[in-house]
Amino acid sequence: MNVSNKIATPDNLFWPQRNSIVSATIIDKAVVLHWNDDQQSTLHPVWLRDNCCCEECLNPVTREHLLDLRDVPLDIRPSSVDIDAEGALVVSWSEGQHRSRYNPDWLHAHSTEARSQRDDQIRQWSATDLSEPPSLDAINGVVTDELLYEALVTILRYGMVRLRGLPTDPAQVETMALRIGPIRETHFNRIFDVISKADSDTLAYTSHHLAAHTDIPTRESPPGIQLLHCRIAEAKGGQSTLTDGFKVAHDIKRQFPAHYKTLISAKWCHANRAGATDYRWSAPIIGLDDRGEPLEVRLLPFSRAPLQADYKDMDSIYAALVCFMDLVNSPDYQISFPLAAGDLIMFDNRRVLHGRSEFYPKTGDRALRGTYIERDDVMSKIREFEQLRSRSS
């Protein structure tokens, strides 16, 4: 979700040899390669030395550097270059007797324009594009690795996915989370039950309507991915809602540029002040990455702390917030759908706002059980699946 994280596989170890080096020459201090696909790479000597993967420089088991960069002279130069019988680049160094050998596929992936474009996969959506979350069926209640991979790629693309036909046992949501990554605990517990409680310390655990919101913006880093498993769906009401906050941000930028400017800069503090804890964090409603693209949205209307701003800025800050709240709750952007027992929705809590309509506990039970993991875990699992695929292909 960040352009610089899209470092191409494969690892230097992995060796299918799809690309080959036509020639390797030393020009000034650089190693210049010509590839069979007509691309050219200019490799920096410190970069090459730094990435030597011999057993002296890189621990073969942990794949961690043993070479301390501080021991590499920054004026190091290659003394000779060669292409060996397996097609690897071999570099001998001016310093000492060291020789380094590089997998051509690895070099190609790390030094040409072939880097994968993960961000291209993101699809922003409004209620015109979709009426419910993209859904996948668990045949006989089983989520295979293939199905899980499809689900994770769908989260990456749409910020949400629904798995259908899962068992309704209480352990289901934790089991599914742990197949992806470690659980992100918060002050609302490791696993939480969304049921109507008499002594609730949050509106979430009542039967009230909940406007579009993101969870736990009271922390510097709110949980990335929410898993919500519907175990019992007998009560009337309680439709689930989801809204693509990135799409709303995109459209506000075009239609209401002044509001957009306010939403990306004015800070709102969110605070949890029930009970003994006192979590607070201040950040803009729309957070951008270093390319100026949305990285996250944060909004929990019922936990907004008092605005701290100059009087003269308050008109515009409130107007921009209400504009955002209007759109994320409007039928143009928000999708509304029933959850059935056995459904598991997973959504990006820092992109997609969720909510629900009021439900009526007297008409039957309603039990959802949820937990969180991080975006990092989804990305790691996708890479792991893709690495396995590419090795077996």
Q: Which of residues 135-164 bind its own copies (CB under 8 A)?
A: none
User: Do 134 and 160 form a contact (C-beta atoms < 8 A)?
Assistant: yes
269, with CB counted inside 10 A (0-12, 13-18, 19+), is middle
Question: Of the two residues 44 and 389, which places its CB atom closer to its own copies in the complex?
Answer: 44
Closest distance to its own copies from the beta carbon of 80 (Å): 20
User: If binding is defined by CB under 8 A, does position 44 make contact with its own copies?
Assistant: yes
User: If binding is defined by CB under 8 A, does position 39 make contact with its own copies?
Assistant: no
Tell me the residue type at 342. G
The three-class DSSP label of residue 240 is: strand
Q: In this chain, which of 130, 304, 341, 357 binds its own copies, going by CB under 8 A?
A: 304
Instruction: List C-alpha distances in Å: 347 to 169, 263, 352.
Output: 21, 22, 7
User: If binding is defined by CB under 8 A, does position 98 make contact with its own copies?
Assistant: no
Question: Of the two residues 137 and 389, which places its CB atom closer to its own copies in the complex?
Answer: 389
Q: In this chain, which of 26, 83, 319, 341 binds its own copies, going by CB under 8 A?
A: 319
For its own copies, which stretch binds (CB under 8 A), given 140-148, 161-169, 235-243, 377-385? 377-385
Closest distance to its own copies from the beta carbon of 234 (Å): 26
Length of the chain: 393
User: Do 348 and 180 form a contact (C-beta atoms < 8 A)?
Assistant: no
User: If binding is defined by CB under 8 A, does position 307 make contact with its own copies?
Assistant: yes
Residue found under tokens 């197949």: 179
Q: In this chain, which of 42, 121, 144, 175 binds its own copies, going by CB under 8 A?
A: 42
Residue found under tokens 């309507």: 209
Closest distance to its own copies from the beta carbon of 337 (Å): 22
First and final CA of the chain: distance in angstroms? 26
Which tokens hold the place of 371? 């937990």
Residues 102 to 131: which contact its own copies by CB under 8 A? Answer: 110, 115
Q: In this chain, which of 237, 318, 336, 357 binds its own copies, going by CB under 8 A?
A: 318
Residues 7 to 36: which contact its own copies by CB under 8 A? Answer: 7, 11, 30
The three-class DSSP label of residue 175 is: helix
Tell me the pairing of strands 210-213 and 334-337: unpaired
User: If binding is defined by CB under 8 A, does position 326 make contact with its own copies?
Assistant: yes
Q: In this chain, which of 119, 174, 293, 376 binds its own copies, going by CB under 8 A?
A: 376
Task: Sketch the per residue contact string, 183 through 202, with its own copies: x for CB under 8 A, - otherwise.
Answer: xxxxx-xx--------xxxx
Tell me the residue type at 369. R
User: If binding is defined by CB under 8 A, does position 253 make contact with its own copies?
Assistant: no
Question: Of the two residues 256 and 318, which places its CB atom closer to its own copies in the complex?
Answer: 318
DSSP assignment string, 103-154: -HHHHHHHHSTT---GGGG-----TTT-SS--EEE-GGG---HHHHHHHHHH
CA 307 from chain center: how many Å?
Answer: 29
Closest distance to its own copies from the beta carbon of 291 (Å): 11
Question: Of the two residues 85 and 276, which places its CB atom closer to its own copies in the complex?
Answer: 276
User: If binding is defined by CB under 8 A, does position 288 make contact with its own copies?
Assistant: no
Question: Of the two residues 164 and 261, which places its CB atom closer to its own copies in the complex?
Answer: 261
Tell me the residue type at 384. E
Q: Under 8 Å CB-to-CB from 311, ≥6 apart: which residues?
A: none
For its own copies, which stretch binds (CB under 8 A), given 64-72, 142-150, 241-249, 356-364? 64-72
252, with CB counted inside 10 A (0-12, 13-18, 19+), is buried
Question: Of the two residues 1 and 345, which places its CB atom closer to its own copies in the complex?
Answer: 1
Task: Sketch the per residue contact string, 209 through 248, with its own copies: x for CB under 8 A, - otherwise.
Answer: --x------xxxx--x------------------------
